[in-house]
Structure 1
Amino acid sequence: MKRKLRIFSLFTVLLSVFLLSACRKNTRNVYQEVKRSNEITWGVKADTRLFGLMSIKTGKIEGFEVDLANALTKEMLGKDAKANFVQTTAKTKIPLLKNGNIDAVLAAMTITPERKKQIDFSEPYFYAGQSLLVKEDSTIKNVQDLNGKTALAVKGTTAVANVKKFAPKAKVLEFDDYGQAFTALKAGQGQAMTTDNGLLAGIATENKGYKLVGGTYTNEPYGIAVNKGQKQMKNAINRALNKLKKDGTYNALVKKWFSGIPGFNIKEAEGEK
């Protein structure tokens, strides 16, 4: 009997600890925590040129989103505040955010209704959309020009369905990754490669003789993600983002990373039509 009571008591203690832990997790105020620590941990990409890429020279992640995260951190917490960076992938960024391993995600994350069921988003900071990458001497000017031609895309992406929607008479060849799709473009297997304009811009910076055309034919803006219920954190990010846009810091960062890319529209990326 005593043994059963001890087991029951142990179970009760463990249950209490679990419930208290869950309660603390649910009532966590990320904004107040980052204010106290004077640092923010951002989830970023480390494999995407222009947005976030691990530098072989410095051993650090560099890119537009890293620079923006640093600027947001200073604006939110002060000039002595520290920005920490954790590499994320498509599969890990939401779990890391939900588990409290990171405070916010700034990683080329499209705002979608499905994602908004799990997390909250800031206002858009990059107005992404699918575009076309073609050879410099191409006669293709927009997605409709793909009718009767061949587009190159990556399997499982929305680009495949979108090409068929906007250019129903186009043929679409699908590849496992962007490297394979671009190799096919160079080999002449298709007349255009399609995916998000920012990703295509990264490819264009490494490969002379290619340009983006037609602007964006879909609307898929990127937002900064915070966990559900973190209204103070989201509002603080929005205030800081708007301040950086007003004082010119945001525009300077966009130009730093995206200016000079053939066919890339900086004003469109900033949300101006």
Structure 2
Amino acid sequence: MEGRRGGVVRGIAVLAVAVALTASACSAGAAPVDRVRVRSAERPVPVGVELNPATTSAGGAPVPQCDPTASLRPTDLPPPGAMPAGSTMRAIQDRGRLIAGVDQNTYLFGFRDPTTNALQGFDIDRVREIAQAIFGDPGRVQFKVITSAERIDAITSGEVDVVVRTMTATCERWAKINFSQVYYTAGQRVLVEKSSGVQGVDQLGGQRVCAAKGSTSINRLSAAPARPQLVAVDNWSDCLVLLQQGQVAAVSTDDTILAGMVAQDPNVRMVGPRFTEEPYGIGIAKQSEDLVRFVNAVLRESIGSGSWTRSYTQWLTSTGQPPTPPTARYRD
């Protein structure tokens, strides 16, 4: 019994010495093992960011000349739910839903309402008008969220029936897909922080400027005489984040998209005049000319009934442009 008690006492004594040594080391300010010296930290960037990417403005096959604003003449609209047999619209009607490629990150044009999670915006209104004309129900839509760079492939692969996503009609794109008549005309400008002294694209030489991959905006920046450094992203909202973090000097795209950014962040502003013209059209597959004519009839009805103006008033008054629909032009 005595030997056991002595062992316990000796154990306690050893433990006390260990604790005392530890306390002494701590009080002496002992340095931790494997200390790592942090010199700098890179700010996080959105997924998919590319610096000075290749653009279609640099070389490539010559583009056939055309009038990109001229579409196919509209037909008379059949009653909803009674699409002509054998037509593209009848195939959509039989499927039970319109499949539309859209954006969910461009405030005012295509974005998710944070309270309802529903897609809203000027482009979304155009999609619902097409669904109304086919089904008599604007809600018969399957939305597919795509990036700017995915728009052409989504159409040519048959993944979607239409793309309504701030898409500029160009001759290069007309060679691959069809477009509806122009439903809105925007123009490229520059967005900077309010404290910036930049007044236009000509003052951005050597500085980082953000634009979306696959957009006409990034191609125009690539050809700008000032030669800015291009930062390409998947979604326009990523450009706003990079500007807010000070990782780019400016964002440059259509003034309608920039107006949505200004509405979200009071610390940014648009500068300089429009230096391009961007006629927006609804993208449709080459083999679906009947759908092009149908959509043009829907747009004609929307403009004539005042639906287009009401949609503009709800979403785009802040752009400062008059609520005047583009004049329709047809190539046949």
Pair in the same fold by TM > 0.5: yes
> CA offset at residue 172 of structure 1?
3.9
Matched, 1:153 2:226: no
Distance 1:182 1:93, change over 3 A: closer
Distance 1:116 1:267, change over 3 A: same
Q: Which amino acid aligns with 1:221?
A: P
Instruction: Give the structure 1 partner of residue 265 of structure 2.
Output: 207
Matched, 1:88 2:148: no
Q: How does 1:76-115 map to 2 (within 5 A)?
A: 76-77=133-134, 79-80=136-137, 82-90=139-147, 91-115=149-173
State whether residues 222 and 230 of structure 2, in contact with CA within 8 Å, keep that contact through their aligned partners in structure 1: no
Q: Which amino acid aligns with 2:107?
A: R
**Structure showing greater Rg:** 2
Instruction: Give the structure 2 partner of residue 256 of structure 1.
Output: 314
Instruction: Give the structure 1 partner of residue 123 of structure 2.
Output: 65
State whether residues 215 and 265 of structure 1, in contact with CA within 8 Å, keep that contact through their aligned partners in structure 2: no
Deviations 1:114-145 (A, max 9, x none): 3322321101122233211134476655545x
Instruction: Give the structure 2 partner of residue 227 of structure 1.
Output: 285
1:41 aligned to which of 99, 104, 109: 99
Distance 1:117 1:209, change over 3 A: same
Deviations 1:65-103 (A, max 9, x none): 1122112332x2364464312223245444443444432
Instruction: Give the structure 2 partner of residue 265 of structure 1.
Output: 320
Distance 1:190 1:222, change over 3 A: same
Matched, 1:174 2:196: no
Distance across 1 between alignment mates of 2:100 and 2:241? 33
Distance across 2 between alignment mates of 1:110 and 1:259? 20
State whether residues 38 and 82 of structure 1, in contact with CA within 8 Å, keep that contact through their aligned partners in structure 2: no
Distance across 2 between alignment mates of 1:171 and 1:93? 26
> CA offset at residue 109 of structure 1?
2.1
State whether residues 133 and 194 of structure 1, in contact with CA within 8 Å, keep that contact through their aligned partners in structure 2: yes
> CA offset at residue 249 of structure 1?
1.0
Q: Which amino acid aligns with 2:305?
A: D
Instruction: Give TM-score scaled by structure 2 length.
Output: 0.59
> CA offset at residue 31 of structure 1?
1.9
Distance 1:231 1:189, change over 3 A: closer
Distance 1:43 1:179, change over 3 A: closer
Distance across 2 between alignment mates of 1:54 and 1:155? 19
Distance 1:186 1:41, change over 3 A: closer
Instruction: Give TM-score scaled by structure 1 length.
Output: 0.70
Q: How does 1:1-12 map to 2 (within 5 A)?
A: none
> CA offset at residue 208 of structure 1?
0.7
State whether residues 152 and 184 of structure 1, in contact with CA within 8 Å, keep that contact through their aligned partners in structure 2: no
Q: Which amino acid aligns with 1:245?
A: I
State whether residues 149 and 190 of structure 1, in contact with CA within 8 Å, keep that contact through their aligned partners in structure 2: no
Distance across 2 between alignment mates of 1:47 and 1:190? 19
- Root-mean-square deviation (CA, aligned residues, Å) is 3.5
> CA offset at residue 29 of structure 1?
3.0
Which one is further off, 36-45 or 133-142?
A: 133-142
Aligned residues: 240
Which one is further off, 250-259 or 178-187?
A: 178-187
State whether residues 309 and 323 of structure 2, in contact with CA within 8 Å, keep that contact through their aligned partners in structure 1: no
Which one is further off, 147-156 or 107-116?
A: 147-156
Distance across 1 between alignment mates of 2:136 and 2:219? 45
State whether residues 107 and 260 of structure 2, in contact with CA within 8 Å, keep that contact through their aligned partners in structure 1: yes
Distance across 1 between alignment mates of 2:96 and 2:153? 24
Q: Which amino acid aligns with 1:43?
A: G
